[in-house]
Amino acid sequence: MTAPALEIAGLNKRFGGLPATKNVSLTVMPGERRLIIGPNGAGKTTLFNLVTGDLSADSGSVKLFGQELMGMRTPERVHRGLARTYQILTLFPREKLVHNVVLALLGLDKLRWNPWAVLTGHRHLYDQAREALAQVGLAASAERVVAETSYGERRRLELAMALAQKPKVLLLDEPLAGLSQGERQTVRELLGKVPRDVTIVMIEHDMDTALGFAERITLLHYGEVIVEGTRAEVVADRRTREVYLGD
């Protein structure tokens, strides 16, 4: 039997007296497109932070293809095939786009410990970085500085950095946030082209895109999973309308 790509069981996190996630359990199968929805403050980003190790959980388990991640630091989790994008862009604004992707590639390359080699001499890294940028339609902007690019281009750069790492599981935190209609369409198409060997878990508020993209949906409310199922099941559920979609 195939191990789930991501298996979360009984995950708890409290900030003082405030429970951010309460006994969250969910299973995402390899190749699946999973959508996490919920009102603001439902604990969606906190859940991502617990999976990546940005935050440490109070209790529970997170497994990536059957391998326990709890107790591992974030870089170790990344080396096991986890990648993510952030809701608030975290890029290197003074650097060129290609350098941003090179940093992503270096993260998984032993070369990163070399204090003597000249980085720009390693053409293979730059070639790979340009390929990743081409994948998201930014080939022509590779030599531009991030600070001089548009918000939509930066969103795509985030995606390029994550995809360059060839992750097994990709966590996307509101990848369409702040984008124009045209840019949304571009990112939608990009996500549609991500190969099936990459499992995607996405937080998104743009329901048109999200529902078109996701195969299964998990609804979080006050840190708890209250509905989970196929698109049709979740949309039809009374609790989804009550806490998220409205009547």
Which residues contribute to the site for other proteins (CB under 8 A)? 52, 54, 73-75, 78-79, 83-84, 86, 90-92, 94, 99, 102-104, 106-109, 111-120, 122, 161, 165
Instruction: Identify residue 29 by its one-letter amino acid code.
Output: M
> Which residues touch 134 (CB under 8 Å, ≥6 apart)?
none
Least separation in angstroms between residue 138's CB and other proteins is 18
Q: Which is nearer to other proteins, 93 or 212 (CB)?
A: 93
Q: Which is nearer to other proteins, 100 or 209 (CB)?
A: 100
Least separation in angstroms between residue 3's CB and other proteins is 22
Least separation in angstroms between residue 159's CB and other proteins is 14
3-state helix, strand, coil in the chain (%, to 5): 40, 25, 35
Instruction: Identify residue 159 by its one-letter amino acid code.
Output: L
Least separation in angstroms between residue 234's CB and other proteins is 29
Secondary structure E strands in 130-245: 169-173, 199-203, 216-221, 224-230
Measure the CA–CA gap between 98 and 224, rounded to whole angstroms. Answer: 40
Least separation in angstroms between residue 49's CB and other proteins is 10
- 42-46 long-range contacts, CB within 8 A, separation 24+: 42/220, 42/221, 42/222, 42/223, 43/13, 43/220, 43/222, 43/223, 44/173, 44/203, 44/220, 45/87, 45/173, 45/203, 46/13, 46/20, 46/21, 46/223
Q: Which is nearer to other proteins, 125 or 234 (CB)?
A: 125
- Terminal Cα-to-Cα distance of the chain (whole angstroms): 41
Q: Which is nearer to other proteins, 92 or 222 (CB)?
A: 92
Q: Which is nearer to other proteins, 158 or 237 (CB)?
A: 158
Look-up of token digits 């789930």: 4
Least separation in angstroms between residue 129's CB and other proteins is 12
Give phi and psi for 129, each to the nearest 5: -65, -40
Q: Which is nearer to other proteins, 54 or 224 (CB)?
A: 54
